[in-house]
Structure 1
Amino acid sequence: MTLLAVRDLCIDIGGRRIVEDVSITLEAGRSLALVGASGSGKSQSCMAPFGLSPASVGGSVLFDGEELVGAGEKRLRVVRGRDVGFVFQQPLTALTPHLTIGAQLREAWTQAGAARPDRAAMAAALERVGLDRPAERLDQYPHRLSGGQRQRALIAMAIAHKPRLLVADEPTTALDAMLRAEIMALLGRLCTEEGMALLLVSHDLAAVADHADDVAVLHAGRIAESGPTAQILGAPQNDYARALIAASPRLDGPPPELGPVGAPLIEAERVSVSFRRPGWRRGRTIAVDDVGLSVAEGEAVAIVGGSGSGKSTLARAIARLGPIDVGEVRWRGMPLPERRAMRPRDRAGLQPVFQDPVASLDPLWTVADIVAEPLRRLRPDLDATAVDARVRAMLDEVGLDPALAGRRPSALSGGQAQRVAIARALGPDPAMLLLDEATSALDVLVAGTILDLLAGLQRRRGLAILMITHDLAVARRLCHRILVMDGGRIVEAGPTEQMIAAPQHHVTQRLVAASR
């Protein structure tokens, strides 16, 4: 039975058409994935027909035979509360921060007129979606949960009123590989048990291949190709669909050509980091426990692991960007000063590139100011003319049009913003880059171009790279070695191809299995 029938859907925002003539059909109990690059219209195609966007909608959207286009907000609110559940990309922003998980679950449960649930029923709902200690979670606030726990809680709220359609908008983008696989398996199981239809928005083609019956590839607001998942992903006919699939990192492709490795550059020994426990609880939480690593000149090393494993805390401690309790860090054989004692010449050698490209850039500054800032602070030998020339050279090196120099971050795409962040990091002429999930916020096409850029920069400049990532396939494209962290410790380390072909530790084995 057809549950959702979309015909000739058109969506306009601010007088600009962003979706044109999109037609899809979804039957009860089946799953359909919308895939494509950022800005292709995937999310708007799912949200606007249900009144969750300021856009104007044209065409026809029949939900169980009822026309939604032109329906008033009052009617759409009834449909959302009774028949449709929504799982959003960022669970921390989708959840109300000042309400407990139990209060928010109760609200979702009763929105369709159901009886007020008791604690036992709500705890059972959280347990069903895989949350440990469910009764305890009912009294916790969203910030006390990990990313995976928050997403599970959000899923419990989305299905509490037993909807017939579940809309999941990039539900796993912010999660590590193991959690992504678990969440997608959970959504598939719930849809099977409840007989729900699943409308999935994703740029994770591996997840789509395993969990969607059909797929529609969107490009520039139009459907480029659609059909059964195995057919579209196995033998795409459209050039854009082929490019999208080719850009997805894989573990089974030919190994990349990596540059030569030189002398040791940075060495860390017996590093430990702890944090004071919040609230009334006493003591400290150990985030990094007695860890050592080294990165040589021209070498790329990836630290991989699940959320909360300590990989970013370790990297920030080594780079003197975050706290460190004990441990020694040497740069070219000499002790690196403590964080507050770092001098400009110490900072210039190791430059960071962060996960969210827009959030890491000052929104009030122009691109030229952003790239010039570290030059003014870390390269006092350069006068104003030399700084301006180097800014232009850095923008050119990362493939950006110099005309973008006068723009602010809000006027840049995600890929352009990350290229600006890389240009800023390259300005002081560092020997090493710290990449903290530098591509996880980007779609596969943009992330692929950023990885190609970094690989080219590494070869031309002989850059060392310390990459923090939860994606082994991404690490494989760039890195000589992989270190796997779990519970604040390195549990396995070795050459990249060896780690992927013959993982020994159970955490590494799970990461490899989740990345295939």
Structure 2
Amino acid sequence: MTLLVADSLDIRIGDQRIVEGASFAIEAGRSLALVGASGSGKSQTCLAPFGLSPAIVQGSFRLDGEELVGAREARLRHVRGCDVGFVFQQPLTALTPHLTIGAQLREAWTQAGAPRPSRAEMAAALERVGLHDPRERLDQYPHRLSGGQRQRALIAMAIAHRPKLLVADEPTTALDAMLRAEIMALLGRLCDEEGMALLLVSHDLAAVADNADAVAVMHAGRIVETGPTRAVLGDPKSDYARALIAASPRLDAPPPALGPIGAPLVEARQVSVSFARPGWRRGRLLAVDAVDIDVAEGEAVAIVGGSGSGKSTLARAIARLGPIDAGEVRWRGEPLPPRKAMRPRDRAGLQPVFQDPVASLDPLWKVRDIVAEPLRRLRPDLDRMAVAARVEAVLAEVGLDPTLADRRPAALSGGQAQRVAIARALGPGPAMLLLDEATSALDVLVAGTILDLLAELQKQHGLAILMITHDLAVARRLCHRIVVMDAGRIVEEGPAERLIAAPAHPITAKLVAASR
């Protein structure tokens, strides 16, 4: 039975047409994935017909035979509360921070008129979506859960009222490879058990290939290709679908041509980092446990592992951006000063690029000021004219139009904002870049261009790179060597090709399997 039908769907925001003539259908118990680059109209297609966007919707969007285009807000609110469940990209922002998981699950459970659930029923609902210690989770607030745990809790809330349709808008983008696979498998299992239809928005083609029955490829607001998933991804007919597939990093792609490796640059020995346990519990949580790691001049090293494995904590300790309890870090043979004693020349040599490009840029500053700021602080040898010239040079080097220099971050696309962040890091002339999930928030086409840019910059400048990522395919595309972490320790390391081809540790094997 066909549950959802979109026919000639048009969506506008102001004078801009976001979606044009979109048509697709989903049967009960089946799944359809909308894929495409950022700005292609995927999320608006899923959200606007349900009244979750200020957009104007025209055409037809029928759920179980009921037309939603033109429906009153009261009716749409009823549909959202009774017939549809929503799983969003960022579970931390989708959940109410001052309410416990139990309170939010109870609200979702009763919004369709169901009786108030017992504590045992709610615990069983959390256990069903794979949350351990479900009774304890009921009393916790969202910030006390990991990203994967929050997403599982959000899924439990989305299906608590037994909806006919589940809408999942980029539900795994912020998760590591193993969690992505688990969450996608969970969504598929729940749809099979409940007979729900699934409308999935994703730019993760590997996840779509394994978990969606059909796929619709969107570009510039139009559906350019649709059909069974294996047919579309295995033999795409449109140029745009072929470009999407080609841009997706793959473990079976030809090995990249990487630059030469020089003398030792960073030598970290017995690095340990701990944090005070949250809440009423006493003691400290050991996040990084006596880790040794080296990076040479011109070498790209990836630190991979699951969420909470200590990847970012280790990298921030090495770069003096975060705390360190014990251990030594040497830079070109000399001890690197503690965080508060770092000199301008130390900071200039090791520059970071963070995961969320827009959030890492000051929203009130123009691009030229954002790029100039570290130059003024870290390069006192440059006068005003030299700073301006350097800003212009690095913006050109990262492929940005000079006219963007007077824009603010809100007026940039995700890819443009990340190029600005890279330009800011390049300005002081570093010997090493720290990339903390620098492409995970971007769609495959944009992420591919950023990786190509980083590879080119590495070769041109002989840059060393310390990359934090949960995607082995991304690590392989850029890095000479891969270091695998779990529970604060390095469990395996080696040349990228060898480690992926023959993983020795079970954690590495799981990461490889999840990335294929």
What's the TM-score bracket when you normalise by the shorter of the two chains? over 0.9
Instruction: Please list the CA deviations of residues 314-337 of structure 1 after superposition, one character each: whole Å capped at 9, or x if unmatched.
Output: 000000000000100000000000
Please list, as runs of the form range in 1=range in 2, the aligned pairs for 1:64-103 lying within 5 A after superposition.
64-103=64-103
| Mapping for residues 194-209 of structure 1, pairs under 5 Å | 194-209=194-209
The answer for the alignment partner of 1:244 in structure 2 is 244
Residues of 2 paired with 1:112 and 1:29: CA distance?
Answer: 21
Over 2 Å off, 4+ runs: none
Identity of aligned residues (%): 83
TM-superposed CA distance for 1:278, in Å, is 1.9
Q: What SS does the corresponding residue of 1:154 show, helix, strand or coil?
A: helix
Q: Which is worse superposed, 314-323 or 14-23?
A: 14-23
Counterpart AA for 2:352: P
Distance 1:365 1:385 in 2: 19
Q: For 1:121 and 1:250, how far apart are their aligned partners in 2?
A: 42
- Measured in 2, the distance between the counterparts of 1:86 and 1:117 equals 20
Aligned-partner Cα distance in 2 for 1:210–1:221: 25
User: By how many angstroms is 1:279 displaced?
Assistant: 2.1
TM-score, normalisation: structure 1: 1.00
Work out the CA distance in 2 between the residues paired with 1:249 and 1:455.
14
Q: CA–CA distance in 1 between the matches of 2:14 and 2:106?
A: 37
Counterpart of 2:213 in structure 1 is 213
Mapped partners of 1:263, 1:446: distance in 2: 33
CA distance in 1, matches of 2:65, 2:235: 33
**Corresponding residue for 1:272?**
272
TM-score normalised to structure 2 length: 1.00
**1:50 paired to 2:53:** no
Residue 180 (structure 1) aligns with = 180
Distance 1:420 1:61 in 2: 39
**Cross-structure match for 2:353:** 353
Letter in 1 for 2:19: V
- For 1:39 and 1:300, locate their aligned partners in 2 and report how far apart those are by CA, in whole Å: 31
Partners of 1:278 and 1:125 lie apart in 2 by 26
Q: Does 1:342 align with 2:342?
A: yes
Specify the alignment match of 2:413 in structure 1.
413
Aligned pairs for 1:466-477 within 5 A: 466-477=466-477
Deviation at residue 280 of structure 1 after TM alignment: 1.6
The reply to whether residue 131 of structure 1 matches residue 127 of structure 2 is no
1:277 to partner: Cα distance: 1.2
Question: What does residue 141 of structure 2 align with?
Answer: 141
Could you tell me which residue of structure 1 aligns to residue 423 of structure 2?
A: 423
The aligned counterpart of 1:114 is 114
Letter in 2 for 1:424: R
Report the Cα distance in structure 1 between the residues aligned to 2:325 and 2:484, rounded to whole angstroms.
21
Instruction: Kindly state the Cα deviation for residue 222 of structure 1 after the two structures are TM-superposed.
Output: 0.4
In structure 2, distance between residues paired with 1:207 and 1:82: 28
Query: What SS does the aligned partner of 1:92 have?
Result: helix
- Taking the aligned partners of 1:65 and 1:277, their CA distance within structure 2 comes to 52
Provide the residue aligned with 1:225 in structure 2: 225
What is the CA-CA distance between 1:285 and the residue it aligns to? 0.6
Q: Which amino acid aligns with 1:30?
A: R
- 1:4 maps onto 2:7 in alignment: no
Aligned position for 1:105: 105
The one-letter code of the counterpart of 2:194 is E
Which position in structure 1 is the counterpart of 2:315?
Answer: 315
Shift of 1:436: 0.3
Distance in 2, matches of 1:335 and 1:45, equals: 54
Q: In 2, distance between residues paired with 1:198 and 1:101?
A: 24
Q: Which amino acid aligns with 1:414?
A: G
Corresponding residue for residue 434 of structure 1: 434
Distance, in Å, in 2 between the alignment partners of 1:19 and 1:372 is 38
Aligned length: 516
Looking at structure 2, the residues matched to 400 and 193 of structure 1 have their Cα atoms a distance apart, in angstroms, of 49
Match of 1:506 in 2: 506
Letter in 2 for 1:348: A
1:275-309 Cα deviation digits (max 9, x unpaired): 11122211101000000100000000000000000
User: In angstroms, what is the RMSD of aligned CA positions?
Assistant: 0.5
Partner of 1:190: 190
Distance 1:339 1:135 in 2: 41
Measure how far apart 1:14 and its partner are.
Answer: 2.0
Kindly state the Cα deviation for residue 378 of structure 1 after the two structures are TM-superposed. Answer: 0.6
Instruction: Show the counterpart of 1:374.
Output: 374
Deviations 1:444-501 (A, max 9, x none): 0000000000000001110000000000000000000000000000000000001100
Aligned-partner Cα distance in 1 for 2:271–2:61: 57
Q: What residue is the counterpart of 1:260 in the other structure?
A: 260
**Structure 1: gaps spanning 5 or more residues:** none
Letter in structure 1 aligned against 2:94: A
Q: How far apart in 1 are the matches of 2:242 and 2:453?
A: 21
Q: Which amino acid aligns with 1:417?
A: A
